[in-house]
Amino acid sequence: MGAMQTKEKNMTKKSETKAPALVAWHVREGKAGGKAYWTRIGAAWPHQNGDGFTVQIDLTPLDGKIILLPPKAGDDEAGA
């Protein structure tokens, strides 16, 4: 296994055990300025060295827009 694969594997194991620092959302606007629909589509964990994030996206929005926000107490933090 190469050094890059080992590093990625170690980062993944660490990120899976901690709550995410950011939650990825897609927002679909309602009709005629109505209620917007928020869908959780992933999460992000900071790298141990502080340079960047590991992002897990479970769904890619058609419009390409992803909103990253800190998790709130009511968010499902079990995983993305």
User: Are the CB atoms for 69 and 27 separated by under 8 Å?
Assistant: no
User: Are the CB atoms for 71 and 20 separated by under 8 Å?
Assistant: yes
User: Are the CB atoms for 44 and 53 separated by under 8 Å?
Assistant: yes
pTM of the model: 0.68
Residue 63 in tokens: 């419009």
- What pLDDT sits at residue 9? 55
Residue 80 and residue 26: Cα distance in Å, rounded? 13
Please write the tens of the pLDDT for every residue from 18-67.
Answer: 899 999 999 998 888 789 999 999 999 999 999 999 999 999 999 999 99
Q: Cα dihedral angle (34, 39, 71, 76), rounded to 10 degrees?
A: 120
- What pLDDT sits at residue 8? 57
